[in-house]
Structure 1
Amino acid sequence: MIIMKKIFLFIAILAIATTKISFAQSKADGAFNQVLTAYFDLKNALASDKKDLATAKAKALVVKIDAVPHKDLPADQHKFWMEQSTLIKAKAKELANAKDIKIQRKAFEGISYPMIKTLRTIKFNTSTVYVQHCPMAKASWLNEKENIENPYYGSMMFECGDVAETIKAK
């Protein structure tokens, strides 16, 4: 009887721990997807040549990054996220303070590479994401659509680039 109670207690504790871990991961995934949406908003502002909107979207991206519950992540992901988020935030702040869209676009490149690396490593996306590359800019970015929308040249070369990789939904 006592052994049976200990077994049930062990199973209950295991179930609670598993539920807590999966809840924490789903909470983190939701926050990461909000970061990804904020990134897409910024990319879309640059692709449509909207400098002032890009400034606002860069600030919104920083807010979303700060909202990620990174302490709930496993240790290796936490360390990785802290490194990448630091890079992304620094470039997002640089982009937000830029007075020229060309400088904003250069800063966006510094946002895109850690975002691509984060998505590949943590695999949090709930929908398919496309890694696109512009040979003229020699730079890549993430897109929520398969159609090319070049944030590095905007209307000058809106469709310049190709899909380099497809990252399927989690």
Structure 2
Amino acid sequence: MKKIMIMMAIIAIATTKITFAQSKTDAAFNQLLSAYYDVKNALATDKKDLATEKVKVLSAKVEAIPHKDLPAAQHMLWMGQAKVIKAKAAELAAGKDIKAQRKSFEGISYAMIKTLKGLKFNSQTVYVQHCPMAKASWLNEKENIENPYYGSMMFDCGDVSETIKSN
């Protein structure tokens, strides 16, 4: 009986530790997603300087992800996408004009979409939206289209191509 109680205690502690690590990782990924939305919103409203400022926050959120707690396959996915996000974020920050920034944002968006689909960490519904004119997709926290690739020129150009429910 004593052995069973000890085993149950060990299992309970291990499960709690895994759950806590997962919730901490999910929280960090949701902060990254929020930082991504800030960059998207700056580009959608034609605010080049704000996009530069917000992408620096995004880069810091990438660095803050406690990725070592992820299962092996998810860890490999994250390491590959984190590299893309950081490189494209650096490009966006150095962008001389908003058109160049938007091109860099496209790379960030595809890496974020792949990460979100692979890790399923979102605590809110996320909308994958697509602009046929830009031939590019992005993530949005709202169902209404807010096009970061054309901004005020075609703010509502695009459609929702996929809805990712919260986990």
For the pair 1:144 / 2:128, whether they are aligned, the reply is no
Letter in 1 for 2:160: V
- Give the 5 Å matches for 1:110-149: 110-149=107-146
The aligned residue for residue 58 of structure 2 is: 61
Q: TM-score, normalised by structure 2?
A: 0.99
Per the TM alignment, residue 5 of structure 1 is displaced from its structure 2 partner at its CA by 1.1
Query: Match for residue 17 of structure 2?
Result: 20
Any unmatched runs of 5+ in structure 1? none
TM-score, structure 1 length as denominator? 0.97
- Could you tell me which amino acid in structure 1 is paired with residue 118 of structure 2? T
Query: Are residue 33 (structure 1) and residue 30 (structure 2) matched?
Result: yes
Q: 2:67 aligns with which of 67, 70, 81?
A: 70
CA RMSD of aligned residues (A): 0.5
Larger radius of gyration between Structure 1 and Structure 2: 1
Say whether 1:107 aligns with 2:104: yes
Output the CA distance in 1 between the equivalents of 2:127 and 2:61.
21
> What does residue 87 of structure 1 align with?
84
* Residue type of the alignment partner of 2:138: W
Find out whether 1:46 has 2:43 as its counterpart: yes
Deviations 1:36-95 (A, max 9, x none): 000000000000000000001111000011111001111111111011111011001110
Between the aligned partners of 1:59 and 1:35, the Cα distance in structure 2 is 11
Seq. identity, %:
74
- 2 CA distance for matches of 1:29 and 1:52? 29
1:25 partner amino acid: Q
Q: Structure 1 residue runs of 4+, over 6 Å off?
A: none
Whether 2:155 is the aligned partner of 1:169: answer no
Deviation of 1:103 after TM superposition, in Å, equals 0.2
